[in-house]
Amino acid sequence: MKKNDPLSTENEIVQDYDSDQQEFSFEEMELSPELMQAIEKMGFTDPTGVQARTILPMLDWHDIIAKAPTGTGKTTAFGIPALEHLEINEQGIQVLILAPTRELAIQIGEEMTELAAYMSHVRIAVVYGGRSIGNQIEEVRHKPQIMVATPGRLIDLMKRNVVHLGAVHTVILDEADRMLDMGFVRDVRYVLDKMPKVSQIAMFSATMSRSVMDISWIYQREPVEIVVEASDENKPQIDQFQIVANGAERLKATVKLIEQNSFEKVMVFCNTKYMTEAVARKLKKAGVKAESIHGDINQSMREKVIKGFRNGNISVLVCTDVAARGIDVEGVEAVINYEIPNENEHYTHRIGRTGRAGRKGVAYTFTSPVHQVRLESIIRYTRTEMELLEI
């Protein structure tokens, strides 16, 4: 049912979304049995806050602008309505999901595939840069109804006349703030201007930046705004420690932390590519299953490493802030800030890799007297405690 379809008034669930704060269980959303089955298989019993508030208005074809902290289940929040919107007999791409990075695009593709596990007719294509365009052209030939894409590669495929967006009715911009911050404003606008049949634009973001508001203003019609604040419930439970150590002491301390706690999934953050490689090398020498990823490592290698980390073959992932963007590996037990981040925001992003989906995590930050000012700034910014740990 399209937004302007007169039939939609027949819909039993007519909501006044402005009177807001209404939350619905999965049952109350009256989802198709195939989706309910998938949700159950994924182990989701109750919707998260953002899911409880976005799914219904999205099903009703409203434009959406949703702000919610990371790890609150935004992917499923848009994945469910996107799948419900598909019309089996229609030709062409119906749903377009834009993501800022390849890792995120891949992850969204995986979660959508899980959600669509019992919908045999659904085909999902994931296209992103850094991979041979030939393979991705092949994917498009399989006539997907859903496309997950990074903006650059998508435009490339559009210009080669491989991808046509004429039939798209649902557009989702995931991590809209980051996408627009990364300089994709023109690309996003180029894509949005090429879709004559769009009935719904949904933007998901951790923050409401100026550029997010601009795109909303230009392209959305009376969007339903959903703001989920970080509450104690969805705020990740992360114990934070500072450890005074520098130079080689940090390596010993890292190995000790891993051994003493029997950690099997740890992310170690450094500020430079060079440092990630050096730390991974030294950890390997010390007998730790470590690998590094950073911007200069080619795509297939990065994917291999992330996969290894996900399935447990690699227990320590050493990375830069850029390389870690959008990676959501389940069950990261600890984050170690081998080097204190230069930006306060990076600290939040780094430690947010652990303690996801209601699980407890732990974060360690190495400091030395010269880093005291930086450290205090982070503590003020995050308004949290960072206990001093001696090892």
Query: Closest CB to Mg ion among 72 and 136?
Result: 72
Asked whether 177 and 206 are in contact (CB, 8 A), the reply is: yes
DSSP secondary structure string for all residues of 137-152: HHHHHT--SEEEE-HH
215 by Cβ neighbours in 10 Å (0-12 / 13-18 / 19+) ranks as buried
27 binds ligand ADP (CB under 6 A): no
74 binds Mg ion (CB under 5 A): yes
Cα 119 from chain centre? 23
Q: Which residue is nearest to ligand ADP (CB)?
A: 73
If contact means CB under 5 to 8 A according to the sort of partner, which of ligand ADP, Mg ion, none does residue 382 touch? none
Rg (CA), the chain: 22
Among 356, 361, 362, 366, binds ligand ADP (CB under 6 A): 356
70 binds ligand ADP (CB under 6 A): yes
Query: Closest CB to ligand ADP among 174 and 291?
Result: 174
Among 222, 330, 387, 390, binds ligand ADP (CB under 6 A): 330
Q: How far is the CB of 111 from Mg ion (least distance, A)?
A: 9
51 binds ligand ADP (CB under 6 A): yes
Antiparallel, parallel or unpaired: β 124-127 and 64-67: unpaired
205 binds ligand ADP (CB under 6 A): no
Number of residues that bind Mg ion (CB under 5 A): 1
202 by Cβ neighbours in 10 Å (0-12 / 13-18 / 19+) ranks as buried
Strands ordered across the beta sheet of 237-244: 290-293, 316-319, 266-269, 334-337, 360-367, 237-244, 387-388
Site string for ligand ADP, 76-105 (x = CB under 6 A): x-----------------------------
Query: Closest CB to ligand ADP among 75 and 337?
Result: 75
Among 74, 102, 169, 265, binds ligand ADP (CB under 6 A): 74
67 binds ligand ADP (CB under 6 A): no
47 binds ligand ADP (CB under 6 A): yes
Cα(first)–Cα(last) distance of the chain, in Å?
Answer: 61
353 binds Mg ion (CB under 5 A): no
Cα gap 307→328, rounded to integer Å: 11
Query: Closest CB to Mg ion among 178 and 265?
Result: 178
Q: How far is the CB of 237 from ligand ADP (least distance, A)?
A: 14
- Name the segment binding Mg ion (CB under 5 A); options: 22-30, 69-77, 253-261, 373-381: 69-77
Cα gap 351→305, rounded to integer Å: 20
Cα gap 263→309, rounded to integer Å: 13
Tokens of 182: 């990364």
E strand map for the chain: 64-67, 95-98, 124-127, 146-149, 170-173, 200-205, 224-227, 237-244, 266-269, 290-293, 316-319, 334-337, 360-367, 387-388
222 binds ligand ADP (CB under 6 A): no
Number of residues that bind ligand ADP (CB under 6 A): 16
Site string for Mg ion, 26-65 (x = CB under 5 A): ----------------------------------------
Contact footprint for Mg ion (CB under 5 A): 74
